[in-house]
Structure 1
């Protein structure tokens, strides 16, 4: 692997006063362990983010279709900002056109329905980032309903969480670094949560992931995360991923609150 890529994981092993020197106990094997931990964490997160993204596509398209109609995503009246709606619609149309050759269900609608693509079909060619922007600009009543019925949180929190997780998903998909790196978009948290952990690091994303998973999905996620932490805990500095000392208790508490 690229030396520059690997050396980024060694920054936390440097002496804070003299960064030309490594701290006592630092080793090449420990450096590799941090790299491997980060790699496996990305693999774990992208798997559960896929689950969240697919579920959110379903909820959003269902509510838009049932409230406004199959092609209502084209109507600016169903969105807050007309300019953002036009930009999103242009982006979606480009995504649909690009998908004609690779997605049979898109070509099917061109051949049989004059290219009229209903929302539940169109949304299947959209990336996480597009979903986040679509939801942010959606009619406020619909946003509130989706956030309350499916996720039991105020919509302002869900807006923030989707933006955070969209960025984390991109980091994972492009093999970026999560260890000792601040989140680009800090998620909005409730006051009690802000007292318990920092929303600038990876744990904040992990926490909101757990909030958005179902009870069974959350249980599997915690089990996999615990196994990963146990494998590398001797090499980790938990402050560099924002994990509080009672991290597993906090995540388990979310799971136990779900029906």
Structure 2
């Protein structure tokens, strides 16, 4: 099962990339491919929402973690947070954002 995790994560990223590249609707999409819920590191495990396993929130959270690891100097997390904050009327529930998402570790670090 553990060897499936990288494959499932790459497949999820490829799906998101294809949706964006073809200008499809991403914000309230329910993904058919999901990745296993992270147990480590603790900040990621505390940020991921098991109730939103097929929604955008978990994918964005995993991307935040990945960017912090592979490109810690990148401003992408801040730009993502700014985009979300600029659209406060967005349907956060449809995207899988839990009510306390701003307080969860990975998001609190960039907001």
Q: Partner of 1:180 in structure 2? A: 28
Closer/same/farther in 2, CA of residues 177 and 195 from structure 1, 3 Å limit: closer
CA contact (8 A) 2:12 2:35 kept: yes
Query: Which is greater in Rg?
Result: 1
CA RMSD after TM alignment: 2.6
* Structure in which a larger fraction of residues adopt helix: 1
**Relative contact order higher in (CA < 8 Å, ≥ 6 apart):** 2
1:161 Cα offset (Å)? 0.5
CA contact (8 A) 2:49 2:58 kept: no
Q: Partner of 1:163 in structure 2? A: 11
Q: Partner of 1:247 in structure 2? A: 101
1:198 Cα offset (Å)? 1.1
- The 5 Å alignment of 1:30-45 reads none
TM-score, normalisation: structure 2: 0.71
CA contact (8 A) 2:37 2:50 kept: no
Q: Partner of 1:229 in structure 2? A: 84
- In the alignment, the residues of structure 1 paired with residue 98 and residue 25 of structure 2 have an alpha-carbon distance, to the nearest angstrom, of 20
Q: Partner of 2:73 in structure 1? A: 216
Match status 1:207 vs 2:55: no
1:197 Cα offset (Å)? 4.8
TM-score, normalisation: structure 1: 0.34
Q: Partner of 1:88 in structure 2? A: none
Aligned residue pair count = 99
Q: Helix, strand or coil for the counterpart of 2:29?
A: coil
Closer/same/farther in 2, CA of residues 246 and 221 from structure 1, 3 Å limit: farther
